[in-house]
Homo-oligomer: A and B are copies of this chain.
Amino acid sequence: MKTVLGHADRAALLPRLGVNGWDYESDPTAITKTFRFSNFREAFAWMTQAAFWAEKMDHHPEWSNVYGEVTVRLTTHSAGGVTELDVDLAQRLDAI
C-alpha cells in the first residue's frame, strides 16, 4: 500500500491505473491535476466532497483554489513519493 510507484512508464502508468488528466510533477514525487468549474461555488462544493473522501481515507491533498479552479497535488509523505494511496484518492476525486 505504501510502496512508491516506479516511474518507468510515467506517461502510460496513470491512465492504466484508471486516473485521467493527472501527471507527475517534474521531480516526480507527486501527481497533480487541475479541476475547472464554472464558478467559486461549484469549485468549493467539489472541494467539500473531496474533503470528506480525504478525511475518510485519512489521506489528504495539498490543494489550492482560485475562483473556479482547484489544483490538487497528491503524494505520500511517509513514503517519499507516489503510492497506491494517491492513486486511490485520485480515482475518488475523478469520480466526484
A-side residues, CB < 8 A to B, are 40-41, 44, 47-48, 51, 54-55, 60-67
- Within the complex, the shortest CB–CB distance from A70 to chain B, in Å, comes to 10
With A60-B67, A63-B65 already in contact, the answer to whether A40 and B51 are too (CB < 8 A) is yes
Assembly stoichiometry (copies): 2
7 closest Cβ contacts across the A-B interface?
A64-B64, A62-B66, A44-B51, A40-B60, A60-B67, A41-B55, A63-B65
Distance of A31 from chain B, by nearest CB (Å): 16
- Bound CA–CA A47/B44 (angstroms): 9
Q: How far is the CA of A66 from the CA of B73 in the complex (A)?
A: 10
Q: Which residues of B contact A54 (CB under 8 A)?
A: 40
